[in-house]
């Protein structure tokens, strides 16, 4: 019976979706419900669809996605914590015709790597930065991140983030949008099919900008969940993210074609 | 005969790199090595060869730019001085772990901390014993002239790619700042994309259908695989010990007393040998050119010939430990050093020799 169902499923006529060949068969190390898997997939789908595999060099960070190179079927380098934009600078300066991206979490990009992020963006390196922001250090077990919300609990802010002593959550995406070296800056999510489509569209535009040689950093933030670190079920984590993260990390375009988007007051 | 120029050691490094056809230099200003970046910028290597020069926002960023470039099979380098090299140690350790070839120049100044901007040789331990975290070694070259500053750029890159390992030129403020006559080679071409892809099959140049993806990483969460990798690195360092030891012997054939010194100290020691010989003392000089691998065997053999040894270092005594390991108790090994940017004079050393070694 099971064999029959399986055969039915793999009947080419019934296939409506398949894994891109740019994702390896390695089992993802991410927790079930985590946004990393979807983010990886749409990025790899785009590189495949745009026929860029042979031109792509990716840079993995330190954090949950430290092993991104195990899952992405492209040439990749693993960078020291926070240094991915510097590593990508070294690659892109020497291979300007290649497509170069970094894939970084919030601790990597907005805490230890703030200087590298700001300066790569300010120099206008022609790279794509994909920034996964889940407001927590996932890999090391749920410590407070630069993007942890006020009052949000983590293992190093067990009574909630007290901004008086622990500092404020950092809106680094708003910050890099102000720099002349960024060409496009936007913030998205991947917790619903509609959001996945929007994120994929934004990533596609960002990739096109670089491939077309339009100078400057294309910066795509994806606000994501961390159900393990937040200690919630995946469904609850997504609800909590929409209710609490999105009001602070507002989704949408911040900069398009080198121009800041005016926000309504 | 190549082109002769009069220039500073720091400038010679930069000129040699352009002429070699190196691909990139990423740096950050710090005394006493800022002339490297300044010379590069003034020379417009982008117009001469297409070489990329970039002033980074920090030493951390600079070494990581080198990491990114080196991981694509390009010949990338950086330079700094002691406090800046400390900042680069994170990246250097990652590069050793990920087996990336690159050239790092340390124009050493006095420490610890911010120390002084005057010359010193106090970073020997850091350079030769790893420097950052983990079990690893750099291949370390110690130039004693402006000519060697230039020559070791090519030698350094050749060794770096031969062993897929970072190579360090351990210079100091004297060699970096002094001007000497230096002979340069003719301009060589930079490696083409085809050459890089053919010669560095491990490099991340974009994955074609014809090969598996290339990954550059120093991470392995599987302990048994990580141990295997570490053992592989150790075998590589052993190959360096077996094949790459370089040194210079001066007046050693009939020597009864041996000086051991590298870099700027070796230049001073040459004068000491001459002064001692004039006085009838049979003093010789062994100058290690590679500090890792260290010329252990030749020192051990010389210990059968000489009565005692004196190491000269502009430090409180670092290389002396490797000399004592090499000598293994056969003869007395003394150390004489100055620190904080102070430099000994030849007559000062002759006095030390007569009191501590020859008369002692």
R_g over Cα of chain B: 21
Q: How confident is the model at residue B360 (pLDDT cuts 50, 70, 90)?
A: low
Question: Which pLDDT does position A36 carry in this prediction?
Answer: 97
Q: In whole angstroms, what is the distance from residue B320 CA to residue B312 CA?
A: 8
The answer, for A76 touching chain B at a CB cutoff of 8 Å, is yes
User: In the predicted model, what is the mean pLDDT of residues B87-97?
Assistant: 98
| b/e burial code for range A62-93 (CB count within 10 A of at least 16 → b) | bbbbbbbbbbbbbbbbbbbbbbbbbbbbbbbb
- By Cβ distance, the residue of A53, A66, A77 closest to B207 is A53
The answer, for A25 touching chain B at a CB cutoff of 8 Å, is no
Contact (CB, 8 A) for B315 and B121: yes
Q: How far is A164 from chain B (nearest CA, A)?
A: 30
In a domain, A191, yes or no: yes
The answer, for A73 touching chain B at a CB cutoff of 8 Å, is yes
Q: Which residue of B has its CA nearest to A102?
A: B68
Q: In whole angstroms, what is the distance from residue A69 CA to residue B213 CA?
A: 9
Q: In whole angstroms, what is the distance from residue A142 CA to residue A14 CA?
A: 41
In a domain, A265, yes or no: no
Contact (CB, 8 A) for B186 and B20: no
The residue to which tokens 């772990």 are assigned: B97
Q: Summarize pLDDT for B332-358 with one digit per residue, the tens.
A: 999 999 999 999 999 999 999 999 898
Q: How confident is the model at residue A170 (pLDDT cuts 50, 70, 90)?
A: very high
The domain that holds A72 is classified in CATH as 3.40.50.970
pLDDT more than 70, % of chain B? 99
* Exposed / middle / buried, residue B165 (Cβ in 10 Å: 0-12, 13-18, 19+): buried
Q: Summarize pLDDT for A85-103 with one digit per residue, the tens.
A: 999 999 999 999 999 999 9
CB contact under 8 A, A93 and B217: no
Query: Residues B171, B162, B98, CA angle at the centre, nearest 5°?
Result: 85
Q: Summarize pLDDT for A215-252 with one digit per residue, the tens.
A: 899 999 999 999 999 999 999 999 999 999 999 999 99
pLDDT more than 90, % of chain A? 91
Q: Report residue B154: phi and psi, to 5°.
A: -70, -45
- In the DSSP assignment, the letter for residue B134 is S
Residues of chain A contacting residue B190, judged by C-beta atoms under 8 Å apart: none
Question: Which residues lie across from B170 on neighbouring strands?
Answer: B106
In a domain, A6, yes or no: no
Domains and CATH numbers, chain B: 3-194 (3.40.50.970), 247-358 (3.40.50.920)
In a domain, A146, yes or no: yes
Tokens of B151: 């020559």
Q: Summarize pLDDT for B13-26 with one digit per residue, the tens.
A: 999 999 999 999 99
Question: Which pLDDT does position B96 carry in this prediction?
Answer: 98
Question: Which pLDDT does position A66 carry in this prediction?
Answer: 96
User: In the predicted model, what is the mean pLDDT of residues B250-278?
Assistant: 98
User: In the predicted model, what is the mean pLDDT of residues A103-131?
Assistant: 98
Q: Which are the contacts of B20, defined by CB distance < 8 A and separation ≥ 6? A: B75, B153, B154, B157, B185, B188
The answer to whether the predicted template modeling score (pTM) of the entire model surpasses 0.90 is yes
In a domain, A15, yes or no: no
Distances (CA, A) of B202 to A62, A65, B196: 22, 22, 10
The answer, for A57 touching chain B at a CB cutoff of 8 Å, is yes
Q: Which are the contacts of A57, defined by CB distance < 8 A and separation ≥ 6? A: A74, A75, A76, A77, A91, A95, A98, A99, A100, B72, B204, B205, B206
The upper half-sphere exposure of residue B79, i.e. CA atoms within 13 Å in the direction of its Cβ, equals: 33
Q: Summarize pLDDT for A11-39 with one digit per residue, the tens.
A: 878 778 889 999 999 999 999 999 999 99
* ipTM summary value: 0.96
Residue closest to A86 by CA, chosen among B66, B236, B109, B224: B66
CB contact under 8 A, B23 and A73: no
- The DSSP annotation for A163-230 comes to HHHH-PPP-HHHHHHTSTTEEEEEEEE-SSHHHHHHHHHHHHHHHHHHHTT--SEEEEEEE---HHHH
Looking at the 3D structure of chain A, how many domains does it have? 1
Question: Which pLDDT does position A12 carry in this prediction?
Answer: 79
In a domain, A216, yes or no: yes
Q: How far is A161 from chain B (nearest CA, A)?
A: 30
In a domain, A11, yes or no: no
Residues of chain B contacting residue A121, judged by C-beta atoms under 8 Å apart: none
The answer, for A26 touching chain B at a CB cutoff of 8 Å, is no
Q: How confident is the model at residue A10 (pLDDT cuts 50, 70, 90)?
A: confident
Residue closest to B30 by CA, chosen among B116, B89, B102: B116
Q: Which residue of B has its CA nearest to A93?
A: B52
Kindly report the average pLDDT of chain B as a whole number.
97
Q: Summarize pLDDT for A108-118 with one digit per residue, the tens.
A: 999 999 999 99
Residues of chain B contacting residue A95, judged by C-beta atoms under 8 Å apart: 72, 205
- By Cβ distance, the residue of A75, A80, A90 closest to B207 is A75
| Residue numbers of the domain that contains A250 | 28-258
CB contact under 8 A, B67 and A76: no
Question: Which pLDDT does position A264 carry in this prediction?
Answer: 59
In a domain, A13, yes or no: no
Q: How confident is the model at residue A1 (pLDDT cuts 50, 70, 90)?
A: low
**Helices assigned H by DSSP within chain B:** 9-20, 34-43, 45-48, 59-70, 82-98, 124-128, 146-163, 173-177, 193-199, 223-243, 263-278, 296-302, 319-327, 346-352
């Amino acid at each position: 019976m099971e064999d029959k169902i399986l055969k039915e499923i793999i009947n080419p006529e019934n296939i409506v979706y398949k894994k891109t060949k740019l994702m390896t068969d390695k089992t993802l190390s991410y927790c079930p419900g985590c946004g990393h898997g979807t983010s990886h997939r749409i990025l790899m789908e785009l590189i495949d669809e745009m026929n860029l595999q042979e031109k792509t060099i990716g840079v993995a960070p330190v954090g949950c996605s430290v092993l991104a190179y195990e899952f992405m079927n492209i040439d990749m380098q693993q960078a020291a914590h926070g240094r991915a934009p510097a590593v990508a600078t070294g690659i892109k300066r020497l291979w300007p015709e290649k497509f170069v991206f970094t894939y970084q979490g919030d601790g990597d990009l907005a805490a230890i790597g703030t200087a590298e992020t700001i300066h790569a963006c300010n120099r206008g390196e022609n790279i794509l930065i994909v920034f996964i922001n889940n407001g927590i250090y996932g890999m090391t077990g749920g410590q407070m991140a630069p993007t942890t919300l006020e009052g949000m609990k983590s293992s190093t802010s067990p009574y909630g983030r007290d901004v008086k002593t622990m500092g404020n959550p950092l809106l680094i995406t708003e910050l890099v949008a102000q720099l002349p070296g960024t060409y496009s800056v936007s913030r998205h999510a991947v917790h619903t099919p509609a959001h996945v489509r929007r994120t994929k569209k934004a990533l596609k535009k960002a990739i096109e900008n670089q491939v077309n040689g339009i100078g400057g950093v294309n910066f795509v933030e994806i606000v994501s969940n961390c159900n393990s670190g937040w200690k919630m079920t995946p469904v609850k984590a997504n609800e909590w993210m929409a209710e609490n993260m999105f009001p602070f990390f507002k989704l949408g375009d911040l900069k398009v074609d080198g121009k800041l988007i005016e926000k309504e007051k | 005969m190549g082109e002769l120029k009069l220039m500073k050691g720091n400038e010679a490094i930069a000129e040699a790199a352009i002429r070699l056809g190196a691909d990139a230099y990423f740096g950050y200003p710090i005394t006493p090595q800022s002339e490297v970046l300044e010379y590069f910028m003034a020379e417009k290597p982008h117009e001469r060869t297409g070489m990329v020069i970039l002033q980074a926002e920090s030493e951390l960023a600079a070494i990581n730019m080198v990491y990114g470039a080196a991981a694509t099979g390009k010949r990338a380098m950086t330079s700094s001085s002691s406090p800046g090299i400390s900042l680069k140690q994170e990246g250097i350790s990652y590069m050793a772990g990920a087996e990336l070839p690159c050239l790092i120049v340390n124009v050493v100044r006095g420490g610890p901390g911010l120390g002084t901007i005057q010359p010193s040789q106090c970073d020997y331990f850091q350079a030769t014993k790893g420097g950052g975290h983990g079990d690893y070694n750099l291949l370390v070259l110690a130039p004693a002239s402006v000519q060697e500053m230039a020559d070791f750029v090519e030698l350094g890159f050749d060794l770096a790619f031969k062993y897929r390992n970072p190579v360090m030129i351990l210079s100091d403020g004297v060699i970096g700042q002094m001007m000497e006559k230096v002979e340069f080679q003719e301009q060589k071409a930079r490696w083409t994309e085809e050459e890089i892809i053919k010669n560095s099959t491990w490099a991340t140049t974009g994955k074609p259908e014809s090969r598996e993806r290339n990954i550059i990483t120093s991470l392995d969460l599987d302990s048994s695989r990580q141990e295997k990798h570490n053992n592989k690195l150790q075998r590589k360092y052993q190959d360096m010990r077996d094949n790459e030891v370089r040194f210079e012997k001066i007046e050693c054939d009939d020597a009864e007393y041996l000086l051991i010194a590298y870099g700027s100290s070796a230049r001073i020691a040459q004068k000491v040998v001459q002064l001692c010989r004039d006085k009838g003392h049979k003093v010789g000089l062994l100058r290690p050119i590679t500090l890792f691998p260290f010329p252990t065997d030749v020192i051990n053999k010389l210990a059968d010939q000489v009565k005692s040894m004196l190491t000269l270092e502009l430090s409180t005594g670092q290389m002396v430990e490797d000399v004592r390991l090499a000598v293994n108790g056969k003869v007395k090994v003394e150390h004489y050093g100055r620190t904080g940017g102070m430099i000994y004079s030849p007559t000062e050393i002759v006095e030390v020799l007569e009191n501590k070694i020859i008369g002692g």
